[in-house]
C-alpha cells in the first residue's frame, strides 16, 4: 500500500478526532518490558498504540487490531512508518488468528479500550449517534451482514424488549419494543429517536436524552455482539500473555465493567469452590492485580472535565503469574 505521512505521536490521534482515555494509566499498566511484544486490540486512531511505542525499544513488536476499516487504514499508515507495527483487521475475540503460532503465550501486554471511537460516533453515515441523522447502520465492521435496521425490522418484539432491557438497562423496554414493531420499517436514526420520544411522551418520562442514549447503546451492543466479544477477547488476551505479561482493559458502561471485574476476580482469587473440597492446582489463582491499578481506576477530574467521553471509563488490569490455564 502507499504510505502517506501522518503524525507519529498521540497528538496524531487527537487530530484524527479521537482523544485517548486514561493514556498514561493504560500504558503504565502494560509496559513491563521495553523489548517485549505487545498487542493493541482496539487500535481506533492509535492514541494508546503510539504512546506505548514511544516507551519501547527498536526490537519490540506491536500487533494492532481493529474491526473497523477506517481504523485499520490509519494503522496501516503507522505500520508504514514504524517497522515494529503489524496490523490485523478483525475482532479481538479472534486474536489468536492474528498472532503467529510462536507468538501465542509470549506477549508482554495486551490493551483493550472497548466500545466505539469518536470518529465512528461523529460520522453520521455510521448511524451510531442519536445526535446525527443517518442510516440505522451501527456496524463497527461494515463487512458484517447485520445492521441496526436489519435487526430492528426483523427481530421478534420479545427479543427487542430483552435487548433494550439488558443492554440498555431501560425501564420502558417493553413499551419501546412494542412501538418499534408497530412503527416498522425503521430506516434512520431519526426514525428510532422518534419512536423513543413518542414512547416516553406516553409514559410521562422527562429524561429523553438518557433514554435515547440507553436505546442506541443497547442496539449497538446487539448489532456488534459486544459483550460476547469482550468475553472472548478477555480469554484470548490472557492466553496470549507470557508469565509476567499484563492485560489492561478500559470499559465504558456497567455491563462491561462487571464482566471484566468478575473475570479478573476469578483469575486473581481462583474459582469459588465449596469449602470442604481440597484445593487442587486447578483452583489456584493464575493472576495478580497490577499495583498501579488495584481493583480499577477512573479518569482524573481534569480528564473528565476535558473529555466527556472519559466520564464513565474504568481501567482494570491483571498480571499473569503462572503458565497454567485459568
Ligand X SMILES: C[S@@+](CC[C@H](N)C(=O)[O-])C[C@H]1O[C@@H](n2cnc3c(N)ncnc32)[C@H](O)[C@@H]1O
Binding site for ligand X (CB under 6 A): 13, 18, 20, 42, 44-48, 65-68, 71, 91-93, 113-117, 140, 229, 233
Beta carbon of residue 307, minimum distance to ligand X (angstroms, whole number): 12
Residue 259 and residue 288: Cα distance in Å, rounded? 17
Residue 169 and residue 254: Cα distance in Å, rounded? 10
Residue 259 and residue 235: Cα distance in Å, rounded? 12
Nearer to ligand X, 79 or 195 (CB): 79
Beta carbon of residue 18, minimum distance to ligand X (angstroms, whole number): 5
Beta carbon of residue 183, minimum distance to ligand X (angstroms, whole number): 29
**Cell numbers linked to 138:** 451501527
CB-nearest residue to ligand X: 44
Beta carbon of residue 46, minimum distance to ligand X (angstroms, whole number): 5
Residue 141 and residue 148: Cα distance in Å, rounded? 12
Nearer to ligand X, 196 or 310 (CB): 310
Nearer to ligand X, 36 or 88 (CB): 88
Beta carbon of residue 255, minimum distance to ligand X (angstroms, whole number): 14
293 CB-near residues (< 8 Å, 6+ apart):
25, 29, 248, 315, 316, 317
**Cell numbers linked to 1:** 500500500
Beta carbon of residue 314, minimum distance to ligand X (angstroms, whole number): 13
Nearer to ligand X, 173 or 213 (CB): 213
Nearer to ligand X, 113 or 303 (CB): 113
Nearer to ligand X, 116 or 213 (CB): 116
Amino acid at each position: 500500500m502507499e504510505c502517506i505521512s501522518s503524525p507519529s505521536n498521540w497528538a496524531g490521534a487527537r487530530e484524527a478526532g479521537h482523544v485517548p482515555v486514561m493514556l498514561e494509566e493504560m500504558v503504565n499498566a502494560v509496559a513491563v518490558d521495553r523489548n517485549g511484544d505487545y498487542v493493541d486490540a482496539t487500535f481506533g486512531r492509535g492514541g494508546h498504540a503510539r504512546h506505548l511505542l514511544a516507551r519501547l525499544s527498536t526490537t519490540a513488536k506491536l500487533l494492532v487490531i481493529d474491526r473497523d476499516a477506517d481504523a485499520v487504514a490509519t494503522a496501516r499508515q503507522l505500520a508504514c512508518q514504524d517497522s515494529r507495527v503489524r496490523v490485523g483487521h478483525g475482532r479481538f475475540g479472534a486474536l489468536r488468528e492474528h498472532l503467529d503460532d510462536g507468538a501465542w503465550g509470549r506477549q508482554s501486554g495486551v490493551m483493550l479500550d472497548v466500545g466505539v471511537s469518536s470518529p465512528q460516533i461523529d460520522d453520521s453515515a455510521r448511524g451510531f449517534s442519536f445526535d446525527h441523522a443517518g442510516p440505522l447502520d451501527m456496524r463497527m465492521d461494515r463487512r458484517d451482514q447485520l445492521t441496526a435496521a436489519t435487526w430492528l425490522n426483523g427481530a421478534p418484539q420479545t427479543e427487542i424488549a430483552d435487548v433494550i432491557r439488558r443492554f440498555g438497562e431501560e425501564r420502558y423496554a417493553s413499551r419501546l419494543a412494542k412501538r418499534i414493531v408497530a412503527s416498522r420499517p425503521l430506516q434512520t436514526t431519526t426514525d428510532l429517536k422518534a419512536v423513543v420520544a413518542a414512547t416516553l411522551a406516553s409514559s410521562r418520562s422527562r429524561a429523553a436524552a438518557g433514554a435515547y442514549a440507553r436505546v442506541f447503546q443497547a442496539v449497538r451492543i446487539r448489532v456488534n455482539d459486544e459483550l460476547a466479544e469482550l468475553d472472548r477477547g478477555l480469554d484470548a488476551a490472557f492466553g496470549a500473555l507470557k508469565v509476567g505479561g499484563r492485560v489492561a482493559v478500559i470499559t465504558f458502561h456497567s455491563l462491561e465493567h462487571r464482566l471484566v471485574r468478575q473475570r479478573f476476580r476469578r483469575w486473581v482469587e481462583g474459582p469459588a469452590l465449596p469449602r470442604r473440597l481440597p484445593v487442587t492446582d486447578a483452583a489456584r489463582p493464575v493472576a495478580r492485580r497490577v499495583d498501579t491499578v488495584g481493583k480499577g481506576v477512573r479518569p482524573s477530574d481534569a480528564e473528565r472535565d476535558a473529555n466527556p467521553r472519559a466520564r464513565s471509563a474504568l481501567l482494570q488490569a491483571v498480571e499473569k503469574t503462572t503458565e497454567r490455564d485459568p
